[in-house]
Chains A and B, each alone.
Chain A
Amino acid sequence: MPFRYLDDVAIADVAIEAWAETLEDLFRDNADAMLLEMVENLDTIAPGETRQVTAAAPAVDRLLHDFLQEIIFFKDAECKFFRPGQLRIAQGGGGEWSLDGTLTGEPIDHTRHAVGIDVKAVTMHRLTVERAGQGWKSLVILDI
């Protein structure tokens, strides 16, 4: 897997280290790692519904924060699990970062989804998105 959970950081919560060739893949991997805290098998999330997602932020790590918060939002506001589909991430001339893309998912159903624990928020503690060789890596700590 292109991510791992760290055992020795923020022990009451969940720390995810991820790496990927592209930012889009890095964001997708972080979403999957976060969702895997909430549901044991991602394949059980059927892509029945689609939502457009857009985000803009002054820095790429805050863009990742805002993107993951969108998935948390739908989990509470609509009681649905959504996974990322197509994503496009770009940096504007002024340094601003933006994301647009789609999420696909369905209502949470405790009879079909083996649920895990609730993710409350993406924290800013040690949040990092940085270049690593030809690709990117990240550290995200989720509040549980």
Chain B
Amino acid sequence: MTIPVELKQISDTVWELPASYKKGMRVPARIIGTPDLIRAMDAGVFEQVTNVATLPGICRCALCMPDGHWGYGFPVGGVAAMDVEKGGVISPGGIGFDINCGMRLMLTNLTEEEVRPHLKQLVDKLYEHIPAGVGRHGLLDLTRGDFADVLEKGSAWCVKRGYGWQEDLERTEEGGCFKGADTAMVSDRAVARGRNQVGTLGSGNHYLEIQVARPEHVYDAALAARFGLTRPNQVVVMFHCGSRGFGHQVASDYLQSFLDVMTSKYGIPVLDRELACAPFASPEGQAYFAAMKCAANMSFANRQVIQHRVREVFADVFGRDPKDLGLRQIYDVSHNTAKLEEHVVQGERRTLLVHRKGATRAFAPGMPGIPAAFGDIGQPVIIGGSMETGSYLLVGTPGAADTFYSTAHGSGRTMSRQKAKKLWRGQELQRQMQARGILVRTASYAGLAEEAGGAYKDVDQVIGATQAAGISHRVVRFSPIGNIKG
């Protein structure tokens, strides 16, 4: 890999490219990682994180998390905080096409021993009730009016319609609703793409897993107990998906419209058209922010309906009430958003628009915005690894102030999809995983091959880097036993 010679190690886990590295950089770029992870970063990360450092209003530094890799515009793993009172911009490329793509984690009071005998039935029924893959409708038939309510209210709409419990909302980032969503700011095309997709998983790296917290992987038993993880080999359900075609269209629409005004109206040079942006305090910036919130709410609702289906399936298979099975939501957190937050910059409290693209908010104990139940332990952070390895529950820490309270979001890809398809065959991989005790149902064998564990970085190394950097604290590692994917 080509690591720029200007890259300086400034602590065990922080690496910096100075503002002199590239013309136009307003701040340095910092990458979090161990030496091994930095060596494995692709060239795109260095190019892209330094492009981000040129954006107007950026504060302190442009950041890339340890799972970072080549994206478009921002690197995946990118974090940038813009001072909105000092010309700071909003960029769809700093959020990603899949607005509010995120993770949800559900508890059960069952153990692996209790679930194993029913695993095949569970996986089959989950696959049947949670549409996955290209071109699949959701099972809800929403009118345009219903869909507008989803866009404005997010998860609360679902709970009101019986697709969830009140406590789910308290355990979702932003209470499951970004306030200020304005449906007048979204196109008919976006609505047409997304209206039939509430309750669908999508494809690519989106999945739903049944996982086990093995005793040797409980790193902080006291904190694990606070989340309800008290039994050896306790089973949880984790899933990863976003705002589907609706969010993708909102991002595409605004990226194109920003390209038309970025230079001509606002005089911002274009280093990569995928970094199209507009001042936050402009009509264009405000319109996108209000539309982005609609997509964020669609995504919360999508995960809320999927959670409801999970409860239905478990209740059906075990013949018991979901409450009796302890199917409580642990947390739901986004890793593709821009949010207004207060942070201290050079000793001064400022309102910043924090872009996180493939990065997870990780608020420290005591910060506002954390569910009351977890106020003293920090915000839960859910990180999905590859389908063959494992995933993590962490909490936010005070040490994350330097990353605007952000941490990693996944294990991070290290091999192209094309290469993965040449190395693995989906059906063979499915058989191998089954032999190792992981049952998989997929809509696409090619898609399965692309998601092979070997195509990703080592999730344990990535989490180790976030722990060493002090930007999140490891609580439990989960091992997959069942997986459905698109």
Interface residues of A (CB under 8 A from B): 5-14, 38-40, 62, 65, 69, 72-73, 75-77, 79-81, 107-108, 110, 114-118, 120-127, 141, 143-144
Contacts and interface: CB of A to CB of B under 8 A. Distances in A.
Nearest to B137: A79
A-B pairs, 4 with minimum CB distance: A108-B135, A125-B72, A76-B245, A124-B273
Given A73-B249, A110-B133, A124-B259, A12 B70 contact: yes
A77 B413 contact: no
A118 B73 CA distance: 20
B136 A110 contact: yes
A125 B137 CA distance: 30
Contacts of B447: 115-117
Contact of A121 (B137, B252, B418): B252
Nearest to A79: B135
A115 B444 contact: yes
A11 B418 CA distance: 9
A7 B136 CA distance: 29
Main secondary structure of the interface of B (DSSP, over half): mixed
B416 A118 contact: no
B72 A75 contact: no
B42 interface: yes
Contact of A141 (B72, B76, B204, B252): B72
A65 B273 CA distance: 12
B272 interface: yes
Given A11-B414, A117-B444, 12 more contacts: A7-B418, A8-B416, A11-B69, A11-B417, A39-B134, A62-B259, A73-B249, A75-B134, A108-B135, A110-B135, A115-B443, A121-B251
Contact of A110 (B42, B71, B443): B443
Contacts of A124: 72, 255, 259, 272-274, 276
B444 A120 contact: no
Contact of A144 (B204, B251, B276): B204
A12 B69 contact: yes
A117 B203 contact: yes
Nearest to A14: B417
A1 to B, nearest CB: 13
A80 B136 CA distance: 10
Interface string B443-477: 11111001000000000000000000000000000
Interface stretch (B194-202, B226-234, B299-307, B380-388): B194-202
B44 A10 contact: yes
24 contacts: A7-B419, A10-B71, A11-B69, A11-B414, A11-B417, A12-B71, A62-B259, A75-B135, A76-B135, A76-B192, A76-B244, A110-B136, A114-B445, A115-B444, A117-B444, A117-B447, A117-B486, A118-B133, A118-B486, A120-B97, A123-B72, A124-B255, A126-B272, A143-B98
A31 to B, nearest CB: 15
B125 interface: no
B69 A121 contact: no
B248 A11 contact: no
B196 A120 contact: no
Contacts of B69: 11-12
B214 interface: no
B189 interface: yes
B415 interface: yes
Contacts of A143: 72, 96-98, 248
A38 B486 CA distance: 11
A77 B248 contact: no
Q: Which among B194, B248, B256 has the highest number of chain A CB atoms within 10 Å? A: B248
B98 A108 contact: no
A126 B251 CA distance: 17
B193 A11 contact: no
Contacts of A107: 135
A80 B73 CA distance: 30
Interface in B343-400: none
A108 B447 CA distance: 16
Given A12-B417, A76-B197, A125-B273, A118 B134 contact: yes
Contact of B134 (A38, A62, A127): A38
A128 B73 CA distance: 15
A114 B189 CA distance: 27
Q: Which among A73, A115, A117, A143 has the highest number of chain B CB atoms within 10 Å? A: A117
Contacts of B273: 124-125, 127
Interface string B211-249: 000000000000000000000000000000000110011
A77 B245 contact: yes
Contacts of B189: 73, 77
A121 B255 CA distance: 11
Q: Which among A40, A65, A123, A126 has the highest number of chain B CB atoms within 10 Å? A: A123
Interface in B33-82: 42, 44, 69-73, 76
Contacts of A125: 71-73, 272-274
A121 B204 contact: no
A138 B245 CA distance: 25
Nearest to B419: A7
